[in-house]
């Protein structure tokens, strides 16, 4: 099987490339390297294509493939240029959609749990989206574009994925936009007490990248055109993260709580409803927070410096 992966040198894209190659797929790894880490593609056999998803001519020159996994996006939610954000994330998506349609290829594209904004949890795919920033809005536009097309069955498969909070190997280049788990690890590795808002009981649905990437690849054999949440279905607290990192690093660093300046607008709980995911994808996420953090810290972060 030939698969085009966009955003392939990014955090999740590179993990997707590895899984596809382990399954014997021939991969075209497309990235413009604007916010990637080329080291993420170390060991990959993929043909690397350095191109911008907004560049129609470059996309038109790509070889025929059986499937496309579209991960490329501006992923920093604090990115200030709304025009560029929507251009890359939405117009770039449409270019990739048109490419898949011309090649009659399956398309799995990446939306985000950000589309739910401050909506109620557990978050269901059917609830009203409330995008709160240009990033969330750009993903919402991709879903709005896709939903009517899903009914028409123009592509052999059109499936959207709403990742929740993904963490794991390959996220180093994201800096301040990397996961809370990576940020807390860096503080604790430096021997500092981990800083979190009072009193660390805010909860998020953290999913290990090995699960998120594996589910993304499994989505290629889904039988329905649809949009699915990709989370664990179990929100966990910042205190839980600190405790799991302490266990993995054999430290005993107490949280350092500070006042949350955004307290009135802050969401204390985001959690995926994964009922639909379990219907669409055979194997739901396998890693608990403790197992994911243990693998990440011991086998990746402590094993080799990024
Ligand atoms: N990490 C998360 O927790 C999370 C949560 C929800 C959704 N997502 C989505 O998952 C996907 C992957 O995110 P990630 O965390 O791996 O982020 P990432 O920033 O590591 O990866 C995005 C990749 O896209 C590339 N890219 C950016 N603009 C491009 C362009 N114009 N043309 C070609 N390539 C371009 C970047 O260089 C980068 O390698 C994104 O679509 C993101 O919005 C991620």
CB-based contact 92:71 (threshold 8 Å): no
Q: Which atom of ligand 1 is nearest to the CA of 110?
A: 41
Token pair recorded at residue 216? 């993304």
Q: Which atom of ligand 1 is nearest to the CA of 9?
A: 39
Q: How far is the CA of 269 from the centre of ligand 1 (A)?
A: 24
Q: How far is the CA of 190 from the centre of ligand 1 (A)?
A: 28
The domains spanning 2-166+207-232+275-280 and 167-204+235-271+287-301 adopt the same CATH topology: no
Q: Residue 106 catalytic?
A: no
Helices marked H in the chain: 11-22, 56-60, 82-86, 92-103, 134-152, 180-189, 209-218, 238-249, 275-280, 289-296
Rounded CA-CA distance 13/41 in Å is 9
The residue annotated as part of the active site, out of 116, 135, 140, 208, is 135
Return phi, psi of residue 152, to 5°. -80, -15
Superfamily of domain 2-166+207-232+275-280: NAD(P)-binding Rossmann-like Domain (3.40.50.720)
Rounded CA-CA distance 18/5 in Å is 11
Q: How far is the CA of 4 from the centre of ligand 1 (A)?
A: 15
Pick from 59, 73, 91 the residue to mutate for probing ligand 1's pocket: most ligand atoms within 8 Å of its CB.
73
Question: Residues 238-270, buried b or exposed e (16+ Cβ, 10 A)?
Answer: bbbbbbbbbebbeeebebebeeeeeeeeeeeeb
> What length does the chain have?
306
The residue nearest atom 2 of ligand 1, judged by CA position, is: 166
Return phi, psi of residue 51, to 5°. -155, 160
Q: How far is the CA of 303 from the centre of ligand 1 (A)?
A: 25
Q: CA dist 182 to 76, 121, 125, 289, Å? A: 15, 24, 28, 13
Whether the predicted model's global pTM rises above the 0.95 cut: yes
Q: Which atom of ligand 1 is nearest to the CA of 70?
A: 41
Domain boundaries, the chain: 2-166+207-232+275-280, 167-204+235-271+287-301
The residue annotated as part of the active site, out of 174, 189, 234, 257, is 174
Rounded CA-CA distance 194/239 in Å is 10
Pick from 4, 5, 6, 11 the residue to mutate for probing ligand 1's pocket: most ligand atoms within 8 Å of its CB.
11
Q: CA dist 67 to 105, 133, 177, 260, 299, Å? A: 5, 30, 29, 44, 31
CB-based contact 263:147 (threshold 8 Å): no
Q: How far is the CA of 120 from the centre of ligand 1 (A)?
A: 26
Strands 195-197 and 256-258, by their bridges, are: parallel
Return phi, psi of residue 132, to 5°. -105, -10
Q: Residue 116 catalytic?
A: no
CATH code: domain 167-204+235-271+287-301 is 3.90.25.10
Q: How far is the CA of 194 from the centre of ligand 1 (A)?
A: 27
pLDDT score at 305: 54
Token pair recorded at residue 111? 């939306």
Q: Which residues contact 3 (CB under 8 A, 6 or more apart)?
A: 20, 25, 26, 27, 28, 65, 66, 67, 68, 69, 220
Angle at 21 between CA 52 and CA 64, to 5 degrees: 50
Residue numbers in the chain where pLDDT is lower than 70: 305-306
**Three-state SS across 232-266?**
CCCCEEHHHHHHHHHHHHCCCCCCEEECCCCCCCC
Residues with a CB atom less than 6 Å from ligand 1: 6-7, 9-13, 31-36, 52-54, 71-75, 88, 92, 110, 112-113, 163, 165-166, 174
The residue nearest atom 28 of ligand 1, judged by CA position, is: 73
- Chain segment 262-278, per-residue pLDDT in tens: 877 788 899 999 999 99
């Amino acid at each position: 099987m030939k698969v085009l992966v966009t955003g392939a040198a990014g955090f999740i894209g590179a993990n997707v490339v590895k899984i596809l190659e382990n399954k014997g797929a021939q991969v075209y790894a497309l990235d413009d390297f604007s916010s990637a880490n080329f080291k993420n593609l170390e060991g990959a056999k993929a043909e690397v294509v350095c191109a911008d998803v907004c560049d129609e001519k470059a996309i038109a020159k790509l070889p025929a493939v059986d499937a496309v996994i579209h991960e490329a996006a501006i992923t920093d939610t604090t990115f200030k240029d709304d025009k560029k954000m929507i251009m890359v994330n939405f117009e770039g998506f449409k270019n990739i959609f048109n490419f898949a349609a011309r090649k009659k290829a399956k398309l799995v594209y990446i939306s985000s749990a950000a589309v739910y904004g401050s909506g109620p949890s557990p978050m269901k795919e059917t609830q009203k989206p409330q995008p709160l920033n240009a990033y969330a809005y750009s993903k919402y536009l991709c879903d709005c574009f896709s939903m009517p097309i899903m009914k028409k069955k123009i592509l052999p498969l059109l499936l959207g994925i709403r990742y929740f909070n993904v963490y794991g190997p390959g996220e180093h280049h994201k800096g301040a936009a990397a996961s809370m788990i990576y940020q807390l690890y860096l503080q604790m590795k430096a021997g500092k007490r981990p800083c979190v808002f009072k009193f660390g009981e805010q909860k998020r649905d953290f999913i290990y990248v090995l699960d998120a990437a594996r589910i993304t690849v499994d989505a290629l054999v889904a039988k329905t055109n649809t949009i699915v949440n990709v989370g664990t279905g179990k929100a966990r607290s910042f205190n839980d993260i600190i405790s799991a990192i302490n266990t993995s690093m054999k430290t005993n660093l107490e949280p350092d709580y500070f006042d949350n300046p955004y307290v009135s607008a802050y969401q204390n709980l985001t959690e995926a409803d994964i009922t639909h995911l379990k219907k669409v994808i055979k194997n739901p996420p396998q890693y608990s927070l403790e197992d994911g953090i243990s693998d990440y810290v011991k086998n990746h972060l402590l094993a080799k410096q990024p």
